[in-house]
C-alpha cells in the first residue's frame, strides 16, 4: 500500500522544486551548494529520498559513484530527465524503510529533507537498516529544514508521540496533512550518538546539516 507521504510527493512532483525559489533562502542554498559536494569527494554514495534529483548532480560532482533512490516513480521520472553525469549516477526506485541488499556497501550516504518525514517511532529502525547498507565508518549527511516563522508552513497539530504536522495545498486544489518534524540539536545528538560517532551539527538560518560516521 502506498504511504501517504509517497502519494503526496507523487502529486507534488511537478511543483516540488519551487521550494528552492524562496527569496529569503537563497543565501543558505548557495552555501549548501558550495559546501555539500566536498563531503562526498571520491565516495560511493547512496542518496536516500532523492526526489526530483535537485541535489544529485551536486553530489556527483565530487563522488566516485551515486545511487539515488526514491519510492515515488513520479519524482524519479523528473530526476532521470535531468542532465545527470550518467557515467557515475544511477537512479532507482526503492523504499527507504526496506532498502535492497545491494552487494556494494556504500562509504557515504546523503538524505535531503527526509529526516523530517520519518515518524519518531521509526527513526531507530530506519537508521539500523540504512547502516546495514553502509561500510564501517561511512559518512552520513542529513540535510533538512529549520522551522522559521513566516517562511515555514505553520504547524497544524502534534500527535501523542510528539510528531508534528503541516497542512499543504497543491496546485490541483488538494490539501494534504504532511508529517514534518523539526528536531533540536540535542535530540539529534542523542539519537545519532546511539548509532554513530563524530557528529557535526551545522545550523543555517533556514536549514540544518548533521554529519556523522557509522559506528561499526
Q: For position 59, what pLDDT does the model report?
A: 95
Predicted confidence (pLDDT) per residue in 110-119, tens digit: 999 999 999 9
Q: Cα separation of 92 and 39, whole Å?
A: 22
Per-residue pLDDT, 216: 67
Which residue stretches of 36-72 are H helix? 56-60
CA 9 to chain centre: 13
Is the model's pLDDT at 1 over the cut of 50? no
Q: Is 31 helix (H, G, I), strand (E, B) or coil?
A: helix
Q: How confident is the model at residue 38 (pLDDT cuts 50, 70, 90)?
A: very high
Residue 3's pLDDT is 65
CATH code linked to domain 4-214: 3.40.50.150
**pLDDT tens per residue across span 79-99:** 999 887 778 999 999 999 999
pTM higher than 0.85 for the full model? Answer: yes
Q: What is the mean pLDDT of residues 30-44?
A: 97
Q: How far is it, in rounded angstroms, from Cα 160 to Cα 27?
A: 36
Q: Identify which has the larger pLDDT, 106 or 194.
A: 106
Percent residues over pLDDT 90 in the chain = 86
Q: Residue 89 has which C-alpha cell? A: 549516477
Show me where the domains of the chain are located: 4-214
pLDDT for residue 163: 98
Around Cβ 170, how many Cβ atoms within 10 Å?
A: 13
Distance CA 127, CA 132 (A): 9
Question: Which tens digit of pLDDT belongs to each residue from 143-172?
Answer: 999 999 999 999 999 999 999 999 999 999
Distance spanning both ends of the chain, measured CA to CA: 33
Amino acid at each position: 500500500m502506498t504511504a501517504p507521504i509517497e502519494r503526496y510527493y507523487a502529486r507534488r512532483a511537478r511543483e516540488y522544486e519551487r521550494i528552492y525559489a524562496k527569496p529569503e533562502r537563497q543565501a543558505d542554498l548557495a552555501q549548501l551548494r558550495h559546501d555539500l559536494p566536498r563531503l562526498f569527494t571520491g565516495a560511493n554514495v547512496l542518496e536516500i529520498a532523492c526526489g526530483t534529483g535537485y541535489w544529485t548532480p551536486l553530489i556527483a560532482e565530487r563522488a566516485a559513484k551515486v545511487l539515488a533512490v526514491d519510492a515515488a516513480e513520479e519524482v524519479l521520472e523528473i530526476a532521470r530527465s535531468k542532465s545527470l553525469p550518467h557515467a557515475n549516477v544511477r537512479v532507482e526506485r526503492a523504499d527507504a524503510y526496506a532498502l535492497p541488499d545491494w552487494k556494494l556497501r556504500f562509504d557515504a550516504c546523503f538524505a535531503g529533507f527526509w529526516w523530517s518525514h520519518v515518524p519518531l517511532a521509526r527513526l531507530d529502525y530506519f537508521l539500523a537498516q540504512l547502516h546495514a547498507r553502509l561500510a564501517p565508518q561511512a559518512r552520513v549527511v542529513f540535510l533538512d529544514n529549520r522551522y522559521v516563522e513566516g517562511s515555514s508552513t505553520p504547524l497544524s497539530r502534534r500527535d501523542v508521540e510528539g510528531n508534528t504536522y503541516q497542512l499543504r495545498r497543491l496546485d490541483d486544489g488538494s490539501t494534504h496533512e504532511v508529517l514534518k518534524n523539526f528536531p533540536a540539536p540535542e535530540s539529534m545528538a542523542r539519537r545519532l550518538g546511539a548509532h554513530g560517532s563524530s557528529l557535526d551539527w551545522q545550523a543555517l538560518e533556514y536549514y540544518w546539516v548533521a554529519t556523522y560516521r557509522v559506528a561499526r
